[in-house]
Amino acid sequence: MSDYRKEQEVAIEAVRRASLITQKVLQTSISSLTKSDKSPVTVGDFSAQAIINAILAKHFSDDKIVGEEDADDLRSKDADKVALKEKVIGLVNEGLMAEGADQLEKPLSETEILEAIDKGNCQGGVKGRMWTLDPIDGTKGFLRGGQYAVCLALIVDGEVRLGVMGCPNLPIDKSAKKPQEGNLDEVKQRDDLGVIFVASEGKGAFQRPLHATSSTQLTPIKTREITPEILSKASFCESVEAGHSSQGTNAKIAEFLGISSPSVRMDSQAKYASVARGDGDIYLRLPVGDGSYQEKIWDHAAGCLIVTEAGGKVSDAKGRPLDFSIGRTLKNNKGVVAAHASVHAKVIEAVRKALEEEGRGHL
């Protein structure tokens, strides 16, 4: 097994810088626009993608990047988009020139920044080294002051080897109260929020405060011990957005498992992080409708490895491993189930029963 120590160091610094810039956007103002698929994208998403891609390109110039965003909208002559681009340029240079490792001495030009964003255009695949990046996962959460995550993973020959996830709105201490969903004022005021999660294949999972210096020790994290006998006491989490996973099916699965407490709804891969550090036991993401939506690799790669390395198991709704080797999407999989390894099979059995009851057993 290779040692990805250098990659880990670079990825943590890139995610740290990008996460801090998204926090700055939250504290000031969030300019956004709507993409052609009707989903929102903000100055924070573009800036974070540019910062991370620029740092990756500096250290690993031959690596490919599969990123969510591209710079097409920022090349538009439309006045609103020009204004948004100017903000992105300012934020990217602020992020890259701030003190710390990889500090840039002179600002990047507009062309360099747009090119950095567009480095995320790789189509994925089974061979070689590629990074996958979701500069802001849970943009809708970000806009309403909910949870969001800056997610970066290294995939080598189709397998996730390294995952780094910045969660600027999660408490450093897992037992501290999470900010009330959608309370932007609360996340602006609290100073105990901001975590980076890290996992490297075969080396375990860790967390560190977002605001710490890069020399800070990583603290190991573990999923909560839960046996099939006490599964009814488990807590499960799911998306806030009803269109992203079938909350009705999730509720039925919980009922089959005897879980009586209501779900914890949370945007983004922060759900994976919560399961990984034992602040939740099960993450359910059951497909909606006919299941035609194909999950994107950047929405799961980092979270999947972090849960696995923390002692959990991640699969699709049928119990199959997530296949990151076939392009930009997980088209061989439907839905996602993450849980402590010892109860995962029991959860999958409940998923099968629930989907069959709904006449969706073929999914």
Ligand X SMILES: Nc1ncnc2c1ncn2[C@@H]1O[C@H](COP(=O)(O)O)[C@@H](O)[C@H]1OP(=O)(O)O
> Which residues make up each annotated binding site for Mg(2+)?
68, 134, 136-137, 299
Instruction: Please say if 45 is a catalytic residue.
Output: yes
Alpha-carbon dihedral 296, 159, 142, 186, rounded to 10 degrees: 150
Q: Which of positions 35-54 make contact with Mg ion (CB under 5 A)?
A: 39
Q: Which of 93, 249, 268, 308 binds ligand X (CB under 6 A)?
A: 268
User: Using the rule CB under 6 A, is 293 a contact of ligand X?
Assistant: yes
**C-alpha–C-alpha distance, residues 307 and 179, integer Å:** 22
Residue type, 25: V
User: Using the rule CB under 6 A, is 244 a contact of ligand X?
Assistant: yes
How many other β-carbons are positioned within 10 Å of the β-carbon of residue 287? 23
Q: Cβ of residue 277: shortest distance to Mg ion, in angstroms?
A: 20
Q: Cβ of residue 35: shortest distance to ligand X, in angstroms?
A: 8
Q: Which of positions 118-137 make contact with Mg ion (CB under 5 A)?
A: 134, 136-137
User: Using the rule CB under 6 A, is 137 a contact of ligand X?
Assistant: yes
> One symbol per residue from 259 to 298: x for binding Mg ion (CB under 5 A), - otherwise; what is it?
----------------------------------------
**C-alpha–C-alpha distance, residues 215 and 101, integer Å:** 10
User: Using the rule CB under 6 A, is 241 a contact of ligand X?
Assistant: yes
Instruction: Please say if 139 is a catalytic residue.
Output: yes
**C-alpha–C-alpha distance, residues 276 and 307, integer Å:** 5
User: Using the rule CB under 6 A, is 145 a contact of ligand X?
Assistant: no
Q: Within a 13 Å sphere around the CA of 306, how many CA atoms are in the beta-carbon half?
A: 29
Annotated binding site: 68, 134, 136-137, 299
Interface with ligand X: number of residues (CB under 6 A): 14
Name which of 213, 203, 127, 197 is nearest 163 in CA terms.
197
**C-alpha–C-alpha distance, residues 147 and 149, integer Å:** 7
Q: Which stretch binds ligand X (CB under 6 A): 3-11, 136-144, 226-234, 345-353?
A: 136-144
> One symbol per residue from 200 to 229: x for binding ligand X (CB under 6 A), - otherwise; what is it?
------------------------------
Helix H, strand E, coil C: the string for 26-70 is HHCCCCEEECCCCCEEEHHHHHHHHHHHHHHHHHCCCCEEEECCC
Write out the residues near ligand X by the rule CB under 6 A: 39, 68, 137-139, 141, 239, 241, 243-244, 267-268, 293, 299
